[in-house]
Amino acid sequence: MKRQFKDGLIGNNPVLVQLLGMCSTMAITTTLFNGIGMGVSVLVILTCSNIVIALLRKLIPAKIRIACYIVVIAGFVTMVDLLLQAFLPALSASLGVFIPLIVVNCIILARAESFASKNSVLASAVDGVAQGIGYTAVLVVMCVIRELLGNGTFGGGLIGPGGAGIRIIPADYSALLVILPFGGFITLGCLIALMQWALKKSAAKAGGSKGAEK
């Protein structure tokens, strides 16, 4: 279980290592409100889908397994979408089409195919939570960086007057380009590069320690 959480956050992070779900990661990470909302939505859907698919893994015919996975995922996406519209309409409007598109999110389909369909219910549930937390963490980091540099604020949609966030950098000194799509590509690229550097450094250090022991 501990290993699964470590993989979800670092070693096998769905966005920075597996390079999945990058479209939504770049599209909606302009405010902290969006990032947390999208991250929690994916976490809930991923965990619930993993549990159901793990329960039905021996009953689903191999030839139609992908279609069955999509039906299961679509059911939970519909529930989350309707709940957001009912209780968090501002978040639903802000995320727009990216909530329904969770149905075909690469992260959820990948975990269904590579993990939930081959493991127990408990392990699949833990995997869903771990991968969901890893995805949410990347969204939050992206949101903080892009909102701070692009708009000069922190906590947009959650705190501050009218949910405008707390002003950190004067508006005249903010870089609007960071909030635009180009800024999303650059920010995500830098985070991926940083993660790959950290993983290679960690692997080299582990290899050096083993060599010293021998």
Please state the domain extents for the chain. 2-203
H/E segment holding residue 101: none
Q: Across the chain, what does the average pLDDT equal?
A: 92
Check residues 47 and 23 and name the one with the higher pLDDT: 47
- What pLDDT is stored for residue 171 in this prediction? 87
What would the mean pLDDT of 92-111 be, rounded to a whole number? 91
The alpha carbon of 84 is separated from its chain's Cα centroid by a whole number of angstroms, namely 18
10 Å Cβ neighbour count for 108? Answer: 32
Is the Cα torsion angle 156, 159, 164, 166 positive or negative in sign?
A: negative
Query: How far are the Cα atoms of 95, 118, 185 from residue 90, in angstroms, in the given order?
Result: 9, 38, 26
In angstroms, the CA 4 to CA 120 distance is 14
Decide if pLDDT at 12 tops 60.
Answer: yes
Contact 131, 107 (CB under 8 A): yes
What would the mean pLDDT of 165-178 be, rounded to a whole number? 90
In angstroms, the CA 15 to CA 114 distance is 16
Share of the chain above pLDDT 90, in %: 75
* Closest to 153 (Cα-Cα) out of 37, 39, 40, 33: 33
3-state class (DSSP) for residue 187: helix
Least confident of 45-59, 108-122, 135-149, 151-165: 151-165
In angstroms, the CA 103 to CA 42 distance is 10
Decide if pLDDT at 103 tops 70.
Answer: yes
Least confident of 45-59, 78-92, 116-130, 193-207: 193-207
The reply to whether the predicted model has a pTM over 0.85 is yes
